[in-house]
A and B are shown apart, each in its own frame.
Chain A
Amino acid sequence: MLRFAVRRLLGAIAVLFAISVLVFLIFNVVPATNPAQRIAGKNATPQLIKNVEKEWGFDKSLPEQYWTQMKLIFTGEATSYSLAHINIDERILEGIPVTASLCIGAAIIWLAFGILLGYISAMNAGGLVDRFVTVIALIGISMPVFWLASIFLYYLTYKVELFPASGYEPLSNPGKWASHLILPWISLAVLFAGFYSRVLRSSMLDVMNEDYVRTARAKGLSQRRVTVRHVLRNSLIPIVTLFGLDFGVLIGGGAIITESLFNLEGVGYFTAEALGQQDFPSIMAVTIFGAFFIVLFNTFVDIAYAYLDPRIRLGTSAV
């Protein structure tokens, strides 16, 4: 298991390197316009453009450019010119607790509800309960996040004033922290909960037809034990995959809409800002940062996978 984990982590590092090169090439080589010009902003003086050119290494060879830029981004020296000269890395680091609070809370909610609903649905497949849950899940899936968030904001904070309007409160005051996050959590979780419940339902229905489930029943295990230990456990494998991807995307700055609408100044919020300003260094940093999390969580998923399915673990160590 350890051997497997170490190998996967090394693999992840290689992938990250490849991604950073790719991002670098897309941002620097592909566009036709002068990259320094774009970094400096629309109203930049020729002098500023010169400085930028030097700072970002555009006067050097491509590998050197890559090196300079990555150094800027990873050592926390990259500054944004369009966004009031803020330090990009600091801005991202500040955003992480906010985004993490949002994503972890939402993830707990969506996993709990997704699994619960999927389970209920699969256990009653074809019945009334199943149809009811299906409708709920489909509503959840088809409700746009911005719409749901706006409805929440309008009715529950503005009209009824049940929840504080928006913004983030640090965890040092847990009550306040939670009350500020509860609506964003729900808005973000609804879509995923609905989606996961569908995936789990179909996965469970597949597993229920597996021969080994029949074996489990033939052993005289209780219905409950069969469904939990044999059906549910084996059905969670696709859910783990999805979760790794989704969670990586969100924490890497993908919760753009939720963060923006609820005024949570997390990574997604910053991404939105950067996109709005077409701020080239920030977009590049956020992209690499996002990729980092996606790869990281995929690696976790692989490791979790290996835990859930011994064939994968042992298969790799036998090769």
Chain B
Amino acid sequence: MSAATEAAPAQPGAGGGPLLAVENLRVGFATEDGRVQAVDGVSFELEPGEVLAIVGESGSGKSVTAQTVIGLTRSPNSHIEGSVRLSGEELTTQSESQLQKVRGSQIAMIFQDPMTSLNPVYTVGKQIVEAIRAHDSSIGKKAAHARAAELLGAVGIADSERRVDDYPHEFSGGMRQRAMIAMGLALEPSVLIADEPTTALDVTIQAQILHLIQDLNRSRGLATILITHDLGVVAEVADRVLVMYAGKVVEQGTLDDIFYDPQHPYTWGLLGSLTRLDQPRPHRLPQISGSPPSLLRLPKGCAFRPRCPHEFAKCKEVPGLEARLPADPNHCDRCWLEPEQKARLREIEGRIGLEEPA
């Protein structure tokens, strides 16, 4: 497929299958107003060295999907169905103590909000040391501390020898985010789940972090799930893309599929809203009108229907996630429109979009 996958040394998963396979994952939360189906039947596979990007509306279940992979959404008010397999081994049925061995060392996770994801009462270094020693207590405290400083240096924190002993509140937002990344990479995991890893970073540091991740993809076959709202970041590093809306995957395909041949109107809307530096600026940014649906009261049929300018009678039935282009069985979407119609409707003023800006 893309350059990155070819360059990755094929690291055979235990059973010859994919490194990580998520199948029909459903996550529901009981709330006072009723059950919120945050994730509704998500499936994907991840190969070593691959970068899978997940994009989608805020609240569409991206973070919940990612956290469920390592069992972090388990709680009395949650209901989880489906399967998650790491090298063929089922994770959803594992006990907490079995999962502990997987977390951090085989699947590491970087969380969305860098401001609150570090414990304020311990130094940054101590928190990285804790992660290292949780999986290998034979490493001495000193050695682990030195390793923590080295990792901070690797994510571009200047003077890392000294800053490693700072408390999180002494770091700026961007530095905390990098500390989280350092922690995630500390144990050389085979899968990295990065939830909005660069929102607090300016573009130069963002580029540095993305390069770091890409290097690891190539050199070690690190497989990455990258959750982001920045389509520029997706274009830079992803191999495949999942687009989520209201708990469901509405489109999935390769990077080029999604950017050059998008099938779902929501994807068109996302691409249409982009601001691009290399193109003349439009008078008004195209937007997707309306707001995301409440997960408590999803519209009947296609969840995007209330905001979709192209809806028609059939949309009252739920569209399945299917390959609708005969030529490309791996490019799937959930929209009832015919591929020819789509190719016509998505052309807005010479580029892809949902509708003409008002």
Q: Does A210 contact B (CB under 8 A)?
A: yes
Mask, A276-319, CB within 8 Å of B = 1, is: 00000000000000000000000000000000111100110000
Inter-chain contacts of B212 with A (CB < 8 A): none
Inter-chain contacts of B65 with A (CB < 8 A): none
Whether A310 pairs with B167 at a CB distance below 8 angstroms is yes
Whether B103 pairs with A219 at a CB distance below 8 angstroms is yes
Interface residue stretch chosen among A34-42, A65-73, A221-229, A243-251:
A221-229
Mask, B149-161, CB within 8 Å of A = 1, is: 0000000000000
Whether A211 pairs with B131 at a CB distance below 8 angstroms is no
Q: In this complex, what residue of B is CB-closest to A223? A: B96
A133 to B135, CA, bound (A): 35
A218 to B109, CA, bound (A): 6
99-132 of chain B: CB within 8 A of chain A: 100-105, 108-109, 111, 113, 116-121, 127, 130-131
Q: Does B227 contact A (CB under 8 A)?
A: no
CB-CB under 8 A for A211 and B104, given A216-B119, A217-B72, A225-B134: no
Partner of B70, one of A211, A218, A311, A315: A218
Partner of A212, one of B100, B105, B116, B134: B116
Q: Does B291 contact A (CB under 8 A)?
A: no
Whether B170 pairs with A219 at a CB distance below 8 angstroms is no
A279 to B131, CA, bound (A): 63
Q: Does B305 contact A (CB under 8 A)?
A: no
Whether A221 pairs with B100 at a CB distance below 8 angstroms is yes
Q: In this complex, what residue of B is CB-closest to A214? A: B72
Partner of B97, one of A211, A213, A223, A234: A223
Q: Does B15 contact A (CB under 8 A)?
A: no
Q: Does B169 contact A (CB under 8 A)?
A: yes
Q: Does B180 contact A (CB under 8 A)?
A: yes
Whether B111 pairs with A220 at a CB distance below 8 angstroms is no
A165 to B170, CA, bound (A): 58
Whether B118 pairs with A219 at a CB distance below 8 angstroms is no
Q: Does B282 contact A (CB under 8 A)?
A: no
Whether B120 pairs with A215 at a CB distance below 8 angstroms is no
Q: Does B76 contact A (CB under 8 A)?
A: yes
Inter-chain contacts of A308 with B (CB < 8 A): 121
184-238 of chain A: CB within 8 A of chain B: 210-223, 225, 229-230, 233-234
Q: Does A126 contact B (CB under 8 A)?
A: yes
Whether B72 pairs with A230 at a CB distance below 8 angstroms is no
Q: In this complex, what residue of B is CB-closest to A222? A: B100
CB-CB under 8 A for A314 and B169, given A215-B180, A234-B121, A309-B120: yes
Whether B117 pairs with A212 at a CB distance below 8 angstroms is yes
Q: Does B183 contact A (CB under 8 A)?
A: yes
A311 to B168, CA, bound (A): 9
Inter-chain contacts of B180 with A (CB < 8 A): 215
Whether B134 pairs with A220 at a CB distance below 8 angstroms is yes
Measured CB to CB, the closest approach of chain B to A227, in angstroms, equals 12
135-161 of chain A: CB within 8 A of chain B: none
A116 to B105, CA, bound (A): 32
Report which B residues bind A (CB closer than 8 A).
67, 70, 72, 76, 96-97, 100-105, 108-109, 111, 113, 116-121, 127, 130-131, 134-135, 167, 169-170, 180, 183
Report which A residues bind B (CB closer than 8 A).
126, 210-223, 225, 229-230, 233-234, 308-311, 314-315
By Cβ-Cβ distance, the 6 closest A-B pairs, closest first, are: A220-B104, A220-B103, A219-B131, A211-B116, A212-B119, A219-B104
Given contacts A215-B127, A311-B120, 9 further A-B contacts (CB under 8 A): A211-B111, A211-B113, A214-B67, A215-B180, A216-B130, A219-B183, A220-B100, A221-B131, A311-B169
- Can you list 29 contacts pairing A with B, beta carbon distance less than 8 Å? A210-B116, A211-B111, A211-B116, A212-B119, A212-B120, A215-B183, A217-B72, A219-B104, A219-B130, A219-B134, A220-B101, A220-B103, A220-B104, A220-B105, A220-B131, A220-B134, A221-B130, A221-B134, A223-B96, A225-B134, A230-B119, A234-B119, A234-B120, A309-B120, A310-B121, A311-B120, A311-B167, A311-B169, A314-B167
